[in-house]
Chain A
């Protein structure tokens, strides 16, 4: 007594179900966007698609930030320590690099953070 529509419904439901598992049980720390917070300015959030560079202005000067292949990094910054540049590529949600002298913080956002908190 199962009609054709029944079979289509059942098979479609069974076919789409694994998709739910992939989406919600899969890697949720995937990087989706980068949030840039600069002292005195509004936070901006930029999706990590595409490749580009842009400059953020801070009290010390200009920091150059690059987005490429879904990752983000500081290319240059007018600070002495250059910790921000040495942080390298930020690839996972929750990764963070900051140029404290220049008042700029770059965070990668995604659905879940990779770690709930990190202490140094």
Chain B
């Protein structure tokens, strides 16, 4: 007896995007970081592109699957790192959801990326504070972490903007 799960085109698309995001995530993990918790977060470019091209649901799937599978591949599944990543991912997709409610032309890739990055960092910080290091001294790190989030959020947003520009040009072919 065989069990088949019928897959839709959306499933394939999400899988394709997630694979891309995981690849970027793992490649980026090879780069050294100046402080624990600060990294460029380039895999989020995929999340933002997915958000703007295919909608929030696809982006949310990509983000969460990337955290899950990335942690399995890196060997950090269910570790403190995983908990922090997950809290950041949940907060950032919640922030993106709320941001999509903005009427009118709304946000572009830079705005979404910035908001997601700030939400991600804030959620990670407070998870670290409440769960792992409930010491007031941790707050001395917060301004530095949020500065990094702001910077890398904007950079990721600009990269996503460039990517979307290329994807939407006439010679591009989307999955």
- Which A residues fall within an 8 A CB radius of B? 1-6, 9-10, 13-14, 17, 20-21, 24-25, 111-112
Contacts and interface: CB of A to CB of B under 8 A. Distances in A.
Q: Which of A3, A5, A10, A112 has the most CB of B within 10 A?
A: A5
Task: Give chain B's interface residue range (CB within 8 Å of chain A).
Answer: 20 to 34
A24 B142 contact: yes
Contact of B109 (A1, A13, A25): A1
Given A24-B139, A25-B140, A1 B165 contact: yes
A contact patch SS = helix
Contacts of A5: 102, 104-108, 111
Given A17-B143, A24-B140, A6 B150 contact: no
A59 B118 CA distance: 55
Contacts of A1: 108-109, 161, 164-165
B contact patch SS = helix
B110 A17 contact: no
Contacts of B143: 17, 20-21, 24-25
Contacts of A9: 107, 110-111, 114-115
Given A24-B139, A24-B140, A10 B114 contact: yes
A111 B114 CA distance: 30
B71 to A, nearest CB: 29
Contact of B147 (A10, A17, A111): A17
A13 B118 contact: yes
Given A2-B111, A5-B105, 16 more contacts: A1-B164, A2-B110, A3-B105, A3-B107, A3-B111, A5-B111, A6-B108, A6-B110, A6-B111, A6-B157, A9-B111, A10-B110, A13-B150, A20-B143, A21-B143, A24-B140
B86 interface: no
A13 B147 CA distance: 9
A105 to B, nearest CB: 23
A5 B105 CA distance: 8
B132 to A, nearest CB: 18
